[in-house]
Amino acid sequence: MTKADIVNEVSKNTGIEKVTVQKTIEAFMEEVKASLTNGDNVYLRGFGSFIIKQRAEKTARNISKNITITIPAHKIPAFKPSKSFVSKVSKNN
């Protein structure tokens, strides 16, 4: 499902114009990105959490040059679904 599909479904289910729904979804995504950039996690009860994960420094290999490289510690955004979300997905499989 793409962002356009989500806009279409929300518009169809709520009766709100697609342009308004698209602006709302864009604003939501920008707010999530801004919060994570500032180091704040985003919690959506019953859905999940957008969190920042810390990756430790690690050693890797560049097999084309046959050398060892060090990947520094870094932070990455991640999504952690809620327990109710996970149970719904697992029941449908």
CA trace torsion 54, 79, 49, 58 (10° rounding): -10
Domain count, the chain: 1
DSSP state of 68: E
What CATH number did the domain enclosing 43 receive? 4.10.520.10
- What is the pLDDT tens value at each position of the chain, 93 positions in all? 999 999 999 999 999 999 999 999 999 999 999 999 999 999 999 999 999 999 999 999 988 999 999 999 999 999 999 999 999 888 876
User: How many angstroms separate the CA atoms of 59 and 63, rounded?
Assistant: 13
Domain that holds residue 38: 3-91
Measured CA to CA, the distance from residue 29 to residue 39 in angstroms comes to: 15
